Structure 1
Amino acid sequence: MKTPVPDYLASVLARCDANDGGALADYIPELAHADPNKLALALSTIDGEIYSAGDDQYEFSIQSMSKPFAYALALQHHGIEKVLEKVGVEPSGEAFNQISLDSHSNTPKNPMINSGAITTHSLIPAETGELRAEKLRAFLSEMAGRELSFDEEVYQSELKTAYRNLSIGYMLRTVGVLESDPVDIVEGYIRQCAIKVTVKDLARIASVFANGGIDPHTGKCMLDRMVVRQVLSVMISCGMYDAAGDWLTTVGIPAKSGVAGGILGVLPGQVGVAVFSPKLDEHGNSVRGIEIMERLSQDMGLHLMEGTPSAQTIVQGIYYLDEQKQIRVYELRGVLQFTETEMLLRTIQQEPDAPHSIVLDLSHITLIHDVGRRMLLEGIDRLIDDAHEVLVVDPDGLFKAETTDLGHEVKHYANIQAIPH
């Protein structure tokens, strides 16, 4: 059997192909010559599978879709509090290139508008003489699984018309947000925006963010989970500029657009999506790209506020491992966050007082959040205090706890068959 996902993606493109609205980004001369008929879509799963349709091999400049990744590098290196001293997180309700600062802090309102992105670029960690744009290119290349390059024509074209961004740079230097030559910073930011990508590159990069900062292809931790949460939070509220409210209500996926025609979306724990179509609306967002994302959100139930009651299925089965009914197994599946762990503990509290062994089988658990781990350890302490023995089947080592807060040993087993009975 062939999965129907590629056919579905192709059908979405076919339905949106006739939309001829919008215009090319002619304020960047090189982008004004783009082929307006190019159309592409790619989708990634959290285990790294990539599906695509249309012009999925076509390279285009990443433009403002680079902003979340530069922000992530700055957060990873400096920490959230330090970065917040330089750039805020409030939606601006303004155009992406507005020359403005927050009236109270005198800093950019968020990292998704140009003033915030220029500031964020200055915070990318780089050694003396190392180009920050090159640091970002290497970072994106590792997540994309191939060496990305710069579009020198787009870079030079945008550099020749960068008067507004230079004005923003000088403003930021005047108020002390930038601490070095604004011309160097602005030129580096423009070069950052000229990194060439395909929708498949973007979808693969998005899978790292959908997977909480872990590259599903390599297993490497590219970003701390808290950094990913911060980036996606800003994307959902600020990523689509002064159309962010409409985007949140109709699409509901953390996203970032670029004036070359790309839109990148990340739904945590589910999928990454990338679309490309060069003609833009008045906000600087791809017209056909928005229509595609709206269809995907509606067809696939991807809206962030359309949550699923996963906690109802956390306990897949309860059974005895032995004929004497002294070893009771709780077979779990899914993720352990607050809601799921609360339901599990509420189920376990119905265990009879008579001492016996309780097995928590985590073989089919894919993620244990910190709060889930803390709650489970507390539950284990209470079960042991009630004279029960607690055993944990954890073949993937997700639980990562050898003792409880009260010093009780957590007995680990690689599989259910290894438990003596």
Structure 2
Amino acid sequence: MNGIGKISGAMTTVVNRYLPDPLIFAMLLTLIMFCIGFLFTPHSPLEIGNMWGDGFWNLLAFGMQMALIIVTGHALASTPLVRSLLRDTASLAKTPVQGVMLVSFFGLIACAINWGFGLIVGAMFAKEVARRVKGSDYPLLIACAYMGFLSWGGGLSGSMPLLAATPGNPMEHLTGGIIPIGQTMFAGFNIFAMAALLVVIPLIAGMMMPKADQVHKINAELLQEDPDYQRKLPLNASVAEKLEESRILTFIISLLAIVYLVMYFWKNGFNITINNVNMIFLIAGLLLHKTPMAYMRAFSAGTRSCAGVLIQFPFYAGIQLMMEHSGFGGMITNFFVDISTKNTFPVMAFISSAIVNFAVPSGGGHWVIQGPFVIPAAQQLGADLGKATMAIAYGEQCGNMAQPFWALPALAIAGLSVRDIMGYCITALIFSAIIFIVALSFF
């Protein structure tokens, strides 16, 4: 086994032994943050507890968005057209190594376009490769789909560069204006980082492929094709049944949504949000399933995958508010800021962001917690504000490979547990961190 394979094998062994289910991870992290809050900040246990309770339901809307993207993604993938497209693309891989490299490349491209789209479609694509390429290691394929998330913060839907470039954003008063995307998303250092990820991560994925006698066997039930959800009505069908299977009703509702989306993009430009992705997924699935109830049957089949998202998001909402309102997130950031120079500042901001990510696995949350400390410090040191912004984004991207929060949608689609993929993801973390540090230090 090569060196990369040994690293991933060792990481997988450690993860299988010590990493609990993501729900237990979230509960333990809650208790850790609670203790840190009253031990290292000037707040009482009662105040910290109130922060947790006040924040517990803050991600309800976002949790619903994520649940919908999983279910609508499932429903879209079960349509004959999408099945055919994924099948044809997956057929490009002829060997297991080619399969994992193709999935990781596909996932990086998809997440660079839109993180919600990439997470769901990447997992669907990984399943299709597993169906078609004999000898595939299913957990590694799903891990490769999740590794695509490494590109999202520097891609077209990166929340931090887009927020920094938006007039009226919370940091504008600190920066004295916006930070244009030419200094962040389209800067030379970010182009290098994204290009390096597209080259290095697929190669690393290929090197992590286990030997034939060590490949994890695939549960055939996980790879079963979705059933045909169409229903043929009898000649004596009732009016209600005809409405339920009406293609005309589907067309009218879909046309309404399409008109709305065209008007939205005409007015706002290429601003893809998670709500837009959900609407596109929903309408595309509805049209391709042809009738309302065919779509409803496909939609219902996908709801089984949402349990992890629905139960864990409230815990992370509580953790985020504890870290934000207690000031502990700022303390971590300030520590790294205080030991920085103009040249080392971006890398130190990157490291602090990766640490904060364990408690706040959210791009927007990072910007709220770290922006008020990182941006003024960058100005004081004379550091590049664009690099400072992207350093926070890179730390969040990299930290996601060790934080199971965002893996939930992919795992829900795959039918796997976090222990099945996290060893591979931590290996990707190591090599992606090198890429980000080089980009921040030398470009």
TM class, shorter-chain normalised?
A: under 0.3
The structure where helix makes up a greater share of residues is 2
Greater Rg by CA: 1
- Provide TM-score, normalisation by structure 1: 0.21
- Provide TM-score, normalisation by structure 2: 0.20
The structure where strand makes up a greater share of residues is 1
